[in-house]
Amino acid sequence: MTDRSTYRLHCFAQSGNSYKVALMLELAGAPWTLVWNDFFNGGTRDPAFKALNAMAEAPVLEHEGKVLTQSGVILDYLAGTLGRYGPANDDERREILRWTLWDNHKLTANIATLRWMVQFNPEGTFDPAVIAFLRSRARGALKTLESHLADRRYVVVDRLTIADFSLVGYLYFPTEFGVDWKEYPAVGAWTARIAAEPGWKHPYDLMPGHPLPSKAA
Ligand SMILES: N[C@@H](CCC(=O)N[C@@H](CS)C(=O)NCC(=O)O)C(=O)O
């Protein structure tokens, strides 16, 4: 019989967006199971997967008959159901929303696309001008985050919130998009602070599918 309390996360190891959710579930000690999406062989374009998420993207979370997509929405949902990492009041709620929207638009969007082009490069060669543009946008966003974190331990308040999970999603792959935390020491220190949480795991150890078959051995 199905355990109705179990969260089912459709994800894959290389997905920083999935990691945002996987890390929260893991650190909260939630009962969760992984459903591996074979992204590199068209898993998110599969009709059965698109029936779950018309946006054809991971992550997808299934829980108690609900199907949730968009990592920011899922994190907000989990803050409610798990009673962890959420806002304590309306000001915090807006601040979490503000940073989550910024993450999706400026930080993750540029870093994930840049990493895709330079690390996974599925179709051969991307235009170097496009890569240079994304690199400069990614660096600009990291600079913004660096100055915000210069005198803070976490992004919104002095404790871990879902905004931190959203923003940190891609930041354990710095070498894959060509960044050294020496250039952004406050960001580096914050990623290390989160990595020191009991139960923390790197995305490649938390979700299935790493290494890719072509990169194995
Ligand atoms: N804003 C979305 C982004 C999700 C996303 O881009 N997921 C990637 C994997 S990390 C994906 O499935 N992309 C499929 C595609 O672009 O075709 C979220 O936060 O969930």
Q: Concatenated DSSP letters for 31-78?
A: -EEEEE--GGGTGGGSHHHHHH-TT--S-EEEETTEEEESHHHHHHHH
- The C-alpha atoms of residue 160 and residue 157 are separated, in whole angstroms, by 8
Q: How large is the average pLDDT for residues 173-185?
A: 98
Of the two residues 87 and 1, the one the predictor is more confident about is 87
Q: What does the mean pLDDT of the chain come to?
A: 95
| Ligand 1 center–CA 58 separation, angstroms | 5
Q: Is the dihedral of CA 143, 147, 153, 157 positive or negative?
A: negative
Q: Whose CA is nearest to atom 15 of ligand 1?
A: 57
Confidence check: pLDDT of 161 > 60:
yes
Predicted confidence at residue 217, as pLDDT, reads 44
Choose the residue to mutate in 10, 11, 14, 17 for probing ligand 1, maximizing ligand atoms within 8 Å of C-beta.
Answer: 17
Percent of the chain whose pLDDT exceeds 90: 93
CATH no., domain 7-85+202-215: 3.40.30.10
> Residue 74 class from Cβ within 10 Å (0-12 exposed, 13-18 middle, 19+ buried)?
buried
Confidence check: pLDDT of 8 > 70:
yes
Enumerate residues lining ligand 1, CB below 6 A: 15-17, 44, 56-59, 70-72, 104
Predicted confidence at residue 9, as pLDDT, reads 98
Domain with CATH 3.40.30.10 in the chain: 7-85+202-215
59 Cα nearest atom in ligand 1? 20
| Ligand 1 center–CA 195 separation, angstroms | 23
Predicted confidence at residue 4, as pLDDT, reads 59
Tell me the two tokens of residue 59. Answer: 């992550």
17 Cα nearest atom in ligand 1? 10
| Ligand 1 center–CA 108 separation, angstroms | 10
CATH assignment of 90-195, given 3.30.1300.10, 1.20.1050.10, 3.30.360.10, 1.20.140.10?
1.20.1050.10
Confidence check: pLDDT of 216 > 60:
no
Q: How large is the average pLDDT for residues 180-187?
A: 98
Domain with CATH 1.20.1050.10 in the chain: 90-195
At residue 25 the predicted structure's pLDDT band, cuts being 50, 70 and 90, is very high
| Ligand 1 center–CA 84 separation, angstroms | 24
Residue 37, beta-bridge partner list: none
Asked if residue 59 has a cis previous peptide bond (ω within 30° of 0), the answer is: yes
Read off the pTM.
0.96
Which tens digits make up the pLDDT trace of 114-148? 999 999 976 667 899 999 999 999 999 999 999 99
Q: How large is the average pLDDT for residues 149-163?
A: 98
Q: How large is the average pLDDT for residues 26-36?
A: 98
Confidence check: pLDDT of 1 > 50:
no
| Ligand 1 center–CA 181 separation, angstroms | 25
Q: How large is the average pLDDT for residues 7-16?
A: 98
| Ligand 1 center–CA 56 separation, angstroms | 8
Collect all residues with Cβ–Cβ distance below 8 Å to 132 and sequence separation of at least 6. Answer: none
Q: Whose CA is nearest to atom 10 of ligand 1?
A: 15
